[in-house]
Structure 1
């Protein structure tokens, strides 16, 4: 909309309507009157001819008589008479006005050739009046050189000098004559004071200011117009200038006031700018149906769908327009990838955070995994193996006995390892516990409890794909291990894997079990996985022994159902059980301050964090959810600087595993806008410490993008995609970065794999690179 040369502003477009309103005649009446006049001319013309013949005969007789008296003819007198007969006839002003009106009517009704012919005839009678009108007609016909000459004549004849100069400037604009364009605009400004009494004064002032790029002055005169003539032009200019200054709502209002056909394409772009993607899509689809802007309209629609989260629609539209216009498609909307500003703004971050703890399944499930119990080996099964071995020795079946005893010894070794790993996990050394359990699984891959414990460590680390894999194995190895099955359903939801059949089997099996504490727990967890909080409400009435997981479920269900008294009661109990752990304290703050406004929430959070101390082992080595939520709380309360300093000191002094400490510091540095530091830390984690799960690779790409290392971001996202192809965040970010480097084909491949409608990235967004567009416009040879 801000591209001035695309628009032609035609001034004083006199047409039949304006003529009719002044004279009181309709166009049909005008033609009838002209016909009557012609009949009268024929009648009186005949009489006039007879009279003229009589006079002529008399003159001839007198001349013959005179010729006898004078022997020579006065040649000079005859020449003068002949010359006089060649002089241009003069017309009365009223008749000239009628001719001009007729020419205007012919032009407006589509008889452009006849109109131009009549304008030229008028010009032969009165150049000063008609040159301007002829220029307007020629300008409309895009005969810019002729129009310029006509306006030059009008200016020279001191007629309509201001508006003629404006239109002369428009002609120069189309002829790409910058020097004369500036000359005529300045000339129009010089003649402007002579139009001070004209109702169109503000209109002329607007045009002159607009073409002089004094847009604020033009906008001011539009808001204080002295005339409502040319409403479409005035509304169009108002829309363009308001859009230039990002007054998008005013621009939309001005554009929708236009009485002619709506500019659907421009309206679509404006609605996209204010975030109304539904209306933007409607207008862009209308523009596509009218075949206006065949490249820009469908491409814009694809980008709007991308913003709205309609990824499949976006991929389809971008693919279509790219295949049809493989080169031109990259000219209009160069994509610039960036991180969301809301990540770094404490108020916006707080809004996102509070929305997330209320509605995010990922956060809810991570809290459940945090408080879920680890399982100990089945001692009865081990004893059974030993007994069977002894029995077989007694009956002299040595071979069989050896097998049982060997299995018992192996099982005992694995079970001892499970106990040691669980001790590490309960001490928040999750990564070490996970590595120990991985080794044990190689020894006993068919150990259901071992698979469950390994899956739980993966879940707490945030590696949901691996967690799902091992929860599923655990359930298949022991169909009575319902907790493994339910957690396999939950992780499947988070990694976008089909789970309906699995959930159906688990529900049917649990329905056959006798009611009891465990069955109530399983049913409640299934209700939560389905978002059925009304059915889960029965859990709040249970009077089982207070366990961390049970209390966490109380808080989640009560908060969802706005039973804040119950939620606060359970949060207090949970805090009493684990007073020095970070996550219970965060849950307490979330419930206690739930009703506070933004500023009060931040204030109370800051006060609470200052007054309470923690062991911090869960931050340095524990579950991922603790690190993420604690960093968010520090961002909201403005304490990131102190947390970053603390993590640096620990990293420099500890002799323990530093991987999660470094991971925490990298994330804090990112939120602190220390992008280069974050980028360096993530690269060290990935390259040197070999932390290469999909989520760490993704965060490394986030930091790389923020630091301006987009090529590195693409490489990390490619690795993340290989680690976990169902992780939509990686695919979405990779698609945007591909579009940024003019690889729409690669982007479409990634987008087409995102099956979630309404998907919104947590970190990434894109904008149109207007700086690049401006550079390309100013330096077309350097595109």
Structure 2
């Protein structure tokens, strides 16, 4: 709702009290028939009193003239004229009241007020209340307060006059008077028990006393049609206060005369219907309703809806239009998503991600992808060419060939050793060895492929893409490098259309074979074309690990659950002590379980396994991520953290990945300060500075309320990978929080994904800061 903290019902056309015969324009009034009868009696009495006054005056003058020695008829006439007061007939007085009401409703406030003063001059008893209302509408709150005091003293509409006096007290910031008059209105409530507006008065008194449930009860238990606009607004406000958002929407939509598009938009945003929210905000902007807030809210809602480019443009425009005020309307508070840490909500997110995330699916493919051994024929060829050149006395050429042979042999030996480490799931060590080798032999296609694969398994997709692409360019027949270059390009938001087109054209020229079927299937997966990929399930190839994970992914997507379960079971037989195959087993075999049953069955299953944990401490990122998630879901993160701490204390070297998994586990277990400290040590001391680790460090910093540190890490992260949308989005939110919308817009403009959704970050409106700014407007 708009301004949910605004507790003052201002007396305006839409929601309050001008005493007129158009009841929907009034705020507080009696029913029409009763009011008309009272006016007839009162106006008749006034007319009689005026006539009597004239007669008495005339008699007195005649009596006075008879005692004088001389009769001066001209003097008598003058005195009679002076004694006369203009006689306002009842119908004319009614017309004057109606005219005053009309003048105010059409914007002629000053004329309306003057006319009310004239009416008061002739009929003070009947118009004190109306005069107060007119003064109130004219924002003369101090004067209106005195007028309502007079109305109360005259026993005129005491309950409603007290309510309006309380409202005036709020406007003049007199808390003591407000409390006095709202208590007085409460005291007068019993006298209105027979009034058709009793429930309405009851609602207002409770509303201003902040007894919102009582006010809502009054609104629900009235069938009187008076002031429907105000009653629906009040109902919407109170329901919104208690997050009964659909009831609030229903109340606002009952107002047909003047739809509150702005409030409706915010309510629709609350319930997640961003399209309707934006529609109503557009209408509010056209009608110039709350222009700053409406434009700013529209940019924020587009941001939440994932329409990043549109949000960036709108945020920049509204900031340019309102450079100072824009930061006062809706102060931003950046936080991590609550669902990340709630076991049940986290389970729903995780299971959805397992099904739909390319990052997770590709990580599984990389985990089971084969490493490649050097090309022995090429080395032998170098040796033969060297020997041949010796025989023809071309010593220089022979030396070059033999040098290449020696260098190549050393690299090949190094590749073999590195692969052994990788197969033992010591991925970082293998990666470091391969980095050294690629400096020796920078044009070795297989070396680049293996190095890329270790980077991919570590979660560093930027470096993985770089080396897969280099491998493919060095050997255009190395199609697997080309396919993986496409996949990693997708993960780092890099344009890959030309590469994919060239690759598909090249593969299409090859004769059908097992390898060609594999490459085409992988490309189908990269295109989300599972209908074409399903042909893979009909192949009868040897059951290699990579083939089995493809079976699992394709069968799961195409609802062939028996085939998916079968393939996952075979992976656990091949790798009984590795964690990831069992995570895949859980994904397939427990996919139909409801939330509580799923957690229960996962816990039972994991307790029966005997893992060696090398892959958890030193292996691929996907193992650490999935294992932590399952422990979050089953409520076992504490025990995992204790296990990791013990291992870390007894390990002297190569602790990077142990610290990394402990930092991530601590984050999900809400040990935010501990996670923050671990990531800082990992980044500053152990020099692990890939884009994703820097990003996770920023996540932990945000959770631990070290937002300045988070900004610094995100700046480094997006410098490492300029297309890392998660880092740019988080950085934009944090810039918005520190009142740097210009910087935020720049980051958002770089995110060219119209359906972007951050895994970790979200933002809310800082209501505490908003309330503080309202209470301290000069602060």
Settle same-fold status: TM greater than 0.5: yes
Change (3 A) 1:114 1:431: closer
From 506, 511, 516, give the equivalent of 2:508. 511
Deviation at 1:538, TM superposition (A): 1.1
Deviation at 1:376, TM superposition (A): 0.3
Provide the aligned C-alpha RMSD in A.
2.7
From 4, 12, 15, give the equivalent of 2:20. 15
Who is 1:252 aligned against?
249
Deviation at 1:115, TM superposition (A): 5.3
Deviation at 1:187, TM superposition (A): 2.5
| TM-score, normalisation: structure 1 | 0.90
Q: Is the 8 A contact 1:243 1:251 kept in 2?
A: yes
From 165, 170, 174, give the equivalent of 1:168. 165
Q: Is the 8 A contact 1:620 1:664 kept in 2?
A: yes
Matched, 1:647 2:649: no
Aligned-partner Cα distance in 1 for 2:32–2:240: 37
Change (3 A) 1:107 1:666: closer
Who is 1:72 aligned against?
69
Matched, 1:674 2:671: yes
Deviation at 1:79, TM superposition (A): 7.8
Who is 2:599 aligned against?
602
Give the secondary structure class of the aligned counterpart of 1:4. Answer: coil
Q: Is the 8 A contact 1:14 1:104 kept in 2?
A: yes
Q: Is the 8 A contact 1:16 1:105 kept in 2?
A: no
Who is 1:343 aligned against?
340
Change (3 A) 1:763 1:156: same
Unaligned segments of structure 2, at least 5 residues: 26-30, 34-57
The 5-angstrom pairing of residues 654-673 of structure 1 reads: 654-673=651-670
Matched, 1:234 2:231: yes
Deviations 1:413-463 (A, max 9, x none): 100000000000000110010010000000100000001000000000000
Deviations 1:169-218 (A, max 9, x none): 33333333433333332322222221111010111122222222222221
Matched, 1:265 2:271: no
Q: Is the 8 A contact 2:21 2:32 kept in 1?
A: no
Aligned-partner Cα distance in 2 for 1:116–1:714: 57
Deviation at 1:228, TM superposition (A): 2.3
The 5-angstrom pairing of residues 350-361 of structure 1 reads: 350-361=347-358
Who is 2:483 aligned against?
486
Deviation at 1:618, TM superposition (A): 0.6
Q: Is the 8 A contact 2:552 2:565 kept in 1?
A: yes
Q: Is the 8 A contact 1:16 1:108 kept in 2?
A: no
Unaligned segments of structure 1, at least 5 residues: 24-55, 57-61
Matched, 1:530 2:527: yes
Change (3 A) 1:102 1:463: closer
Who is 2:4 aligned against?
2
Larger Rg: 1
Who is 1:224 aligned against?
221
Number of equivalent positions: 742
Deviation at 1:728, TM superposition (A): 0.9
From 397, 407, 410, give the equivalent of 1:400. 397
Aligned-partner Cα distance in 1 for 2:454–2:181: 77
The 5-angstrom pairing of residues 389-428 of structure 1 reads: 389-428=386-425
Give the secondary structure class of the aligned counterpart of 1:665. Answer: helix
Change (3 A) 1:208 1:414: same
Matched, 1:540 2:540: no
Who is 2:50 aligned against?
none
The 5-angstrom pairing of residues 187-206 of structure 1 reads: 187-206=184-203
Q: Is the 8 A contact 2:374 2:446 kept in 1?
A: yes
Deviation at 1:655, TM superposition (A): 4.3
Who is 1:752 aligned against?
749
Give the secondary structure class of the aligned counterpart of 1:331. Answer: helix
Change (3 A) 1:75 1:534: same
Deviation at 1:742, TM superposition (A): 0.9
Who is 1:762 aligned against?
759
Matched, 1:589 2:586: yes
Q: Is the 8 A contact 2:524 2:533 kept in 1?
A: yes
Deviations 1:547-570 (A, max 9, x none): 000001001100000000111111
Aligned-partner Cα distance in 2 for 1:107–1:717: 57
The 5-angstrom pairing of residues 648-727 of structure 1 reads: 648-727=645-724
Q: Is the 8 A contact 1:199 1:226 kept in 2?
A: no
From 469, 494, 499, give the equivalent of 1:497. 494
Q: Is the 8 A contact 1:200 1:226 kept in 2?
A: no
Change (3 A) 1:686 1:357: same
From 361, 373, 383, give the equivalent of 1:376. 373
Q: Is the 8 A contact 1:510 1:519 kept in 2?
A: yes
Change (3 A) 1:195 1:675: same
Deviations 1:48-76 (A, max 9, x none): xxxxxxxx9xxxxx99xx99xx9814899
Aligned-partner Cα distance in 1 for 2:125–2:146: 13
The 5-angstrom pairing of residues 427-466 of structure 1 reads: 427-466=424-463
Aligned-partner Cα distance in 2 for 1:653–1:313: 52
Who is 1:387 aligned against?
384
Give the secondary structure class of the aligned counterpart of 2:288. Answer: coil
Which deviates more, 416-425 or 152-161?
A: 152-161
Q: Is the 8 A contact 2:11 2:17 kept in 1?
A: no
Aligned-partner Cα distance in 1 for 2:409–2:224: 95
Give the secondary structure class of the aligned counterpart of 1:337. Answer: strand
Give the secondary structure class of the aligned counterpart of 2:699. Answer: helix
Who is 1:275 aligned against?
272
Which deviates more, 188-197 or 347-356?
A: 188-197
Q: Is the 8 A contact 2:452 2:465 kept in 1?
A: yes
Change (3 A) 1:19 1:712: closer
Who is 2:553 aligned against?
556
Who is 2:38 aligned against?
none
Deviation at 1:258, TM superposition (A): 1.4
Aligned-partner Cα distance in 1 for 2:399–2:103: 112
The 5-angstrom pairing of residues 327-342 of structure 1 reads: 327-342=324-339
| TM-score, normalisation: structure 2 | 0.91
Q: Is the 8 A contact 1:88 1:125 kept in 2?
A: no
Aligned-partner Cα distance in 2 for 1:270–1:185: 30
Aligned-partner Cα distance in 1 for 2:279–2:640: 48
Which deviates more, 85-94 or 492-501?
A: 85-94
Aligned-partner Cα distance in 2 for 1:394–1:117: 121
Change (3 A) 1:489 1:106: closer
Aligned-partner Cα distance in 2 for 1:559–1:361: 14
Deviation at 1:255, TM superposition (A): 1.3
Aligned-partner Cα distance in 1 for 2:241–2:423: 59
Deviations 1:631-688 (A, max 9, x none): 1111111111111111111111134521111111111111111111111111111111
Which deviates more, 309-318 or 83-92?
A: 83-92
Give the secondary structure class of the aligned counterpart of 1:184. Answer: helix
From 286, 289, 293, give the equivalent of 2:286. 289
Which deviates more, 682-691 or 460-469?
A: 682-691
Matched, 1:778 2:775: yes
Give the secondary structure class of the aligned counterpart of 2:291. Answer: coil
Change (3 A) 1:609 1:438: same
